Structure 1
């Protein structure tokens, strides 16, 4: 009769939004009905694919991630979280103005100072990251037992950051990465009655490399947008998509003594469906300072035998993972690199060789 609950049978495909026991959502196929319990029907399952559930349906959506929906784990003591919602709801320190839909993290960290550096050259990095992330999903079905005709999974959004590096960091040629916060959210895209659960993880970090000899006092603001993901077609299979359009404004530039240093304030993102990571991306706006010579260069005033320069830039890299097969597409034989996007611009410099 109408309204009678459906009894689970072998072959059923189950899709669930995040719930106790399935924090990242669930997409599974029933392989055995064990029996009835006080809590309901007990079944055994195996992982399922999206085409077995959506068939020839078509779905497309871009879901902004509510800042309040993020679980945030602070990894350093001096990290502040801020966001704003409609209705004049504000979370975080007063004075941190955050646009609606954006999440902001402020950080300050002392970093190891180079051996032999004076007390006045104590090294530190400080700044903020403000991001309005959204997950992008497309599915063009071609039947329950065949790969979709098209698909897309990715992350995009607006990015604003400002940060400063000061002192003489004990840097090395191999970059040292210092994570300062981890964020996780599970936005749900409804395709008719079917909840498509997209998992988004962000790890914000500071990364420093160099030769440990240069003393700097540099700061820049960066603003722009980014996109990273993978697109599928029956003709080409999975292909990567990546772009980053950033502009920078120098706030303060000073380089003292010869050497080089590079500092990035970036984020590593992973995007997946129902707990299976499909796309990993690393967005790293950075500052780079270098000088040759024996004395000081600062905002155009320096010894005639010294040359110095400060650069800003952005790197975007990542991979498409084997788990993209959750769409019902052929299994990737290996992870596919997104390709490295690299841009650099000069912020300041001067001197005479």
Structure 2
């Protein structure tokens, strides 16, 4: 059966963002009348020839940023409050080292000295021998580095971007872009596969991910961005199969999957205008299985859709969680027997951030839930009556109302003040996104 799910949570998080289309406040004039100009477009660039070279810019009072020439310098030392820029591959810093001044912003891609990149503001400059420059630094924001501008960036991830443990065993890269994850879930005592199946709970994910980044600021309107977003998205297909006999009451809770490919890390540098922006992602997979009673379940479901997960900012509303479009789900003919309930799923814990500073976390878990009332509910092919005297359907399904199979999902998340690298106002502590959940009947009655 095919279901279209409104406000549906997506099965797995490996990367997404829906960029909100809310307009600027009514006083904003983006057409340029009255001297108010729309912010310039910041396009996605290829970056410098030396992919480890830093960028330095100097913010100005009118909201624009001027490039400061540092001659392909690299960040060779980096730590809290201190950095050293050394000559790059072109022979050294051009001009005087004092070209760097207090208030300049330095943005560095991922390098050996700064594996998650760096975004700092110059507090003091100390020229050194050999063309190097030592600087005292304070934290900077993207608003400091980008100034006035508007960017909506979508960058497909390649196999080289996905740092996956043992990708040939448990997960693999598919084609020129994408990732496949297969899992055979370990289950507690009291659960065994049904006849003819080697595993009680299995799942797979095919995902072609891309990273998303959005930024917009008009200096006349605010020194802070009016819009921003961070996340990942991608077309996916997700399959889930449960062929289990549960004979005990238990609840595993969120248990990590200690198998290859159960952890994925991404550090992706993109150049927006001249500025390198390092997007980070960490994903861990987990499983969660619970049962109450003795239930036998043979059921499968498949979902196709587009994953979109992350957080967005709008000056009028602040930060909010993102949700994706409605996927389509199909369910195989199900068999449910016994008395009680059983629920199982494979989910993900994702952390999204900039320059290694995690700002958004989210847990998503799709699941199958079977509920059975009474000791009947098996497949009958002889047309006999059950214990209540109800004629069983000739197709072999349990009588309506005795059992039901549900497909559902849950999404929870948090936003952290550490994401203030965007330059937006945030709370001083983490706050929880409103929990989003859904559940739809796939088969059976109203058990």
TM-score, length basis structure 1:
0.82
Unaligned stretches of 5+ residues in structure 1: 86-100
Equivalent pairs counted in the alignment come to 334
Q: Which residue of 2 aligns with 1:151?
A: 228
User: 1:256-335 to 2 correspondence within 5 Å?
Assistant: 256-298=337-379, 301=396, 307-335=402-430
Of residues 166, 175, 188 in structure 2, which corresponds to 1:84?
175
Alignment of 1:103 onto 2:147: no
Q: Which residue of 1 aligns with 2:164?
A: 72
| Cα distance in 2, alignment partners of residues 171 and 73 from structure 1 | 34
Of residues 17, 39, 42 in structure 1, which corresponds to 2:109?
17
Equivalent residues of 1:214, 1:261 under 8 A apart: yes
Q: Which residue of 2 aligns with 1:136?
A: 212
Q: Which residue of 2 aligns with 1:251?
A: 332
SS at match of 1:324: helix
| Cα distance in 2, alignment partners of residues 317 and 208 from structure 1 | 18
SS at match of 1:323: helix
Q: Describe the shift of the 1:232–1:80 C-alpha distance in structure 2 as closer, same or farther (beyond 3 A).
A: closer
Q: CA deviation at 1:347?
A: 2.0
Q: Which residue of 2 aligns with 1:30?
A: 122
Q: CA deviation at 1:84?
A: 0.7
| Cα distance in 1, alignment partners of residues 421 and 201 from structure 2 | 40
Q: Which residue of 2 aligns with 1:211?
A: 292
Equivalent residues of 2:403, 2:444 under 8 A apart: yes
Q: Which residue of 2 aligns with 1:97?
A: none
Q: CA deviation at 1:212?
A: 5.7
Q: Which residue of 1 aligns with 2:243?
A: 166
Q: Which residue of 1 aligns with 2:63?
A: none
| Cα distance in 2, alignment partners of residues 118 and 60 from structure 1 | 48
Q: Describe the shift of the 1:208–1:38 C-alpha distance in structure 2 as closer, same or farther (beyond 3 A).
A: farther
Q: Which residue of 1 aligns with 2:304?
A: 223
Larger strand proportion, structure 1 or 2? 1
SS at match of 1:301: coil
Q: Any idea what the Cα deviations from partners look like across 1:228-283, whole Å, max 9, x if unmatched?
A: 33222333322332235222212352222112111122322222111112222233
Q: CA deviation at 1:78?
A: 6.2
Q: Which has the higher contact order (CA 8 A, sep 6+)?
A: 2
Q: Say which one has the larger Rg.
A: 2
Alignment of 1:177 onto 2:255: yes
Q: CA deviation at 1:71?
A: 0.4
TM-score, length basis structure 2:
0.66
Unaligned stretches of 5+ residues in structure 2: 1-68, 72-93, 381-394
Q: Any idea what the Cα deviations from partners look like across 1:192-235, whole Å, max 9, x if unmatched?
A: 21111111222233221222632222221111123233222333
| Cα distance in 1, alignment partners of residues 415 and 254 from structure 2 | 25
Q: Describe the shift of the 1:59–1:176 C-alpha distance in structure 2 as closer, same or farther (beyond 3 A).
A: closer
Q: Which residue of 1 aligns with 2:151?
A: 59
| Cα distance in 2, alignment partners of residues 305 and 314 from structure 1 | 24
Q: Describe the shift of the 1:333–1:215 C-alpha distance in structure 2 as closer, same or farther (beyond 3 A).
A: same
Equivalent residues of 1:253, 1:298 under 8 A apart: no
Equivalent residues of 1:297, 1:306 under 8 A apart: no
Q: CA deviation at 1:333?
A: 3.5
**Pairwise CA RMSD of aligned residues?**
3.3
| Cα distance in 2, alignment partners of residues 291 and 14 from structure 1 | 62
SS at match of 1:190: strand
